[in-house]
Amino acid sequence: MTKPGKNTTISKRMMCAVEGVLFMLKSERNIPIYGAISALAIAGALYFQIGAIEWMLLWLAIFLVCITETLNTAIEYNVDLVTEEWHEKAKISKDVAAGAVLLASCFAGITAYLIFYPRLANLVLGGN
């Protein structure tokens, strides 16, 4: 027996996942920023013709930030659903989730630095 409202088919489950992604794209204010930075990184990667491993690390960094932002949003909504009052544990939960996004963003920044700095320095300084 399934629970009321439980999605029983793969297509229904996939549609719920798509709805979640669309909700993120429409409602989260940081998504356009992530999109712009990701587009810039992808353009730079195409321009500099980075290697396969660097592409893999670049995509990992991009998706890691998106995934942690998605989980952060889910945690924030869940905390808000449980309590409308200020509570220290609710604050900690939200802060830790936001911290995960910060860590993922730091990883993305370090990855971009390691991939692009040598190439940009070479371009600016006129090296080989």
pLDDT in tens, the chain (128 residues): 456 666 679 999 999 999 999 999 999 999 999 999 999 999 999 999 999 999 999 999 999 999 999 999 999 999 999 988 999 999 999 999 999 999 999 999 999 999 999 999 999 998 65
d(CA 53, CA 85): 47
Domain at 10-125: CATH code: 1.10.287.3610
The closest alpha carbon to 82, from 90, 91, 92, belongs to 90
Six-digit token pair at 98?
């936001």
In this structure, are residues 68 and 104 in contact, taking their beta carbons and an 8 Å threshold? yes
Helix (H) or strand (E) holding 55: helix 52-82
Q: Would the pTM of this model clear 0.95, i.e. be above it?
A: no
For the question of residue 69 being annotated catalytic, the response is: yes
Tokens encoding 90: 């609710």
- Catalytic residue, from 19, 28, 54, 69: name it: 69
